[in-house]
Chains A and B, each alone.
Chain A
Amino acid sequence: MNTTFSDVFLQYQWDDIKQQIENCRAADVQQALSKNKRNLHDFLALLSPAAKPFLEEMAQRSHQLTVQRFGKNIQLYAPLYLSNECHNICTYCGFSMDNKIRRRTLSGGEIQLEAQALRQMGFQHVLLVSGEANNSVNTPYFLQAIAQIKPLFPQISIEVQPLDQEDYVALRHAQVNAVLVYQETYHQEVYKNYHPKGKKSNFDYRLATPDRIGAAGMHKIGLGVLLGLEDWRVDSFFNALHIDYLQKRYWQTKYSVSFPRLRPAEGVEAPNFMMDDADLLQLICAYRLWNADLEISLSTREEEIFRNHVIPLGVTSMSAASKTNPGGYVVEPSSLEQFEISDERPVAAIVSQIRQAGYQPVWKDWQPEFIGN
């Protein structure tokens, strides 16, 4: 039977989950904490407001579980923005089609310059990022870019528009290790308000994307929601539900979760739902307590102090010295960013911070030859 996540998703109602989260009491949180293995119901209790007084205990557990499973290691990566061309209107994004910014798609030569700059900074894991401009920034373009930078980076991840299954197979054969795709919000009724125009306005196609990536045999799938669009607790429950489904179905694939918190960007509105640092830490710990194997990634959207302190609390990978504009490292540092980064420290400062926390910065943790059949 050809099921997708949609079959699971439809069994849950946004408002019911919201209610369940609000109904959680301290006893539910204590019960969740007392277990060795936790299910989605426990996850829901751990991200509920009722768990707030238990944050210290959650952080302690999260630390222990992460050290046991991942050791005292933090993986390092950097994004390489290929293009800010985009045919979608997304109300929260600096690259939205209706923003009057200069559009730029890096040429082969420019990609090479950016890649070399990143390699010189020490990175061996690169995350290729683009908007959605299917006529020009598409699978052939990505394959070309990958072929070009492959000699420099053993680990290549990609965060671009949703593609078809055969595209993902082609990317895997080209030595892409991971595909990241964020649903942004699982609140289907309001999804269209945030994504009024473009291919991205199709909620269902986006929702089925991780299924296509999994079916293509990709090694890792990264999921996330845009924290601040809608109630982050409800959205995070659905995100975990999605991971839970994928993990059982595509059992040879690893999963990672990221926490893009809405930040100010040019020409966009302020976040609808604020999430403070304690909330974000609670969410990170809730994920870790629910799923010891999940990779947890924290980007430079977050501020220096927060990033310094969460190194031992559940995170497994961090970006550093990121530029979120195409050409941002060397080609055209002044072009417009997708979002403002908060942690602007150079790589050496991040590395030394990680070491100071008693962790080993890991530049390489992949062998590109592991591409599967």
Chain B
Amino acid sequence: MNTKLNISGRLFDSRLFLGTGKFGSAKLMEEAIRTSATEMVTVALKRIDMETNTDEILSHIPQDKVQLLPNTSGARTAQEAVLAAQLAREAMETNWVKLEIHPDPRYLLPDPIETLRACEELAKAGFIVLPYIHADPVLCKRLEDVGTAAVMPLGSTIGSNQGLKTIDFLAIIIEQSTVPVIVDAGIGSPSDAAKAMELGADAVLVNTAIATAKDPALVAEAFALAVQAGRMAYQASLRAPANQASASSPLTSFLTKT
């Protein structure tokens, strides 16, 4: 019943993706990757030491089990992001890229115009592009048009742990999308992750809530369970909660009256 997630032909058993920033040590990150059973982790190109072959982050990611998803964090324009993706492809030997263009360094909100431009260019150049975007349903369709592999709308601002503030728009995106929808940013607790999955998201990406926890490995495992539970609930087609009582005097009874 639990079908695999397919992104550009690669199949994933786990629908929980992890970020690698903010961990107190590379070892804690490695343990969280293990207990979460994630199969995709994103790594900021700017954090990777390409000069030496002993990069601390990369050496703690089991690349036989996990798809590396380099991200372009730090780029403010499409041009910079495209360049970063090319560098990442060389450095990490993958054509997967998480496209992040946030010119605003405070809230790290994505620039939709630059993101669309970069996505088009990168998709043409053969990249598997997963763009981080605002929960904007129209932008999602435009990204599909230019060849995006998935969309990664935000639940709330990065690192805020505020959960699914954009839930109404996420629902529209999920309803309309022909590519996988991965809810990224703001997921603060396993219940947020479960909620996103129940809503029909194809996967979620979590970083801050795991990396800054007292026990990242334990929290990572909790997220993994929540994602599975949410996915199962979605597949079981949960009924929507009733938000009003049934009327005691039926409105349509006149049809059967003689």
Contact = CB atoms under 8 A, between A and B. Distances in A.
Contacts of A332: none
A67 B208 CA distance: 9
Interface string B183-218: 000000000000000000000000010011000000
B46 A365 contact: yes
Most buried by A among B48, B49, B212: B212
A12 interface: no
B77 A373 contact: yes
Given A71-B21, A355-B25, A364 B106 contact: no
| Chain A at the B interface: SS class | loop
B84 A364 contact: no
Contacts of B23: 71-72, 360
B212 A68 contact: yes
Contacts of B83: 369
Interface string A355-373: 1001110111111011111
B123 interface: no
A254 interface: yes
Nearest to B104: A251
Contacts of B105: 252-254, 293
B49 A363 contact: yes
B47 interface: yes
B178 interface: no
A253 B105 CA distance: 7
A71 B84 contact: no
B67 interface: no
* Those 3 A-B pairs whose CB atoms lie nearest each other, nearest first: A71-B22, A72-B24, A367-B46
Given A252-B76, A367-B84, A370-B74, A69 B159 contact: yes
A83 interface: no
A247 B75 contact: no
30 contacts: A67-B22, A68-B159, A68-B161, A68-B208, A68-B212, A70-B22, A71-B22, A71-B208, A71-B212, A72-B22, A72-B25, A73-B21, A73-B22, A247-B106, A252-B103, A252-B105, A254-B105, A355-B25, A359-B24, A360-B24, A360-B25, A360-B26, A365-B47, A366-B46, A367-B45, A369-B80, A370-B46, A370-B76, A370-B80, A372-B76
Contact of B211 (A71, A362, A371): A71
A73 B87 CA distance: 24
A364 B46 contact: yes
Contacts of B77: 372-373
A293 to B, nearest CB: 5
Contacts of A369: 80, 83-84, 87
Contacts of A282: none
Most buried by A among B76, B83, B105: B105
B118 to A, nearest CB: 13
Given A254-B105, A367-B87, A369-B83, 14 more contacts: A67-B22, A68-B160, A71-B21, A72-B211, A251-B104, A253-B105, A360-B24, A363-B49, A364-B48, A367-B45, A367-B74, A369-B80, A369-B84, A369-B87
Most buried by A among B74, B84, B106, B211: B106
Nearest to B25: A360
A297 interface: no
B59 interface: no
Contacts of B177: none
B56 to A, nearest CB: 8
B49 A364 contact: yes
A358 B212 contact: no
A1 B77 CA distance: 26
B79 interface: yes
Nearest to B161: A68
A209 interface: no
A373 B79 contact: yes
Contacts, number: 77
Contacts of B212: 67-68, 71-72
Most buried by B among A67, A355, A358, A362: A67
A252 B104 contact: yes
Nearest to A67: B212
B110 to A, nearest CB: 13
A252 B21 CA distance: 21
Nearest to A252: B103
Interface string B157-176: 00111000000000000000
A355 B56 CA distance: 13
Contacts of B45: 367
Contacts of A124: 49
Contacts of A362: 47
Contacts of B208: 68, 71
A367 B86 CA distance: 12
A69 B22 CA distance: 9
A267 B26 CA distance: 46
B104 A370 contact: no
Contacts of A253: 105
A361 B80 CA distance: 26
Nearest to B208: A68
Contacts of A360: 23-26
Interface string A191-221: 0000000000000000000000000000000
Contacts of A366: 46, 74
Interface in B44-78: 44-49, 74-77
Interface in A270-310: 293
Interface string A329-373: 000000000000000000000000001001110111111011111
A304 B161 CA distance: 34
A60 to B, nearest CB: 15
Contacts of A69: 159
Interface string B130-173: 00000000000000000000000000000111000000000000
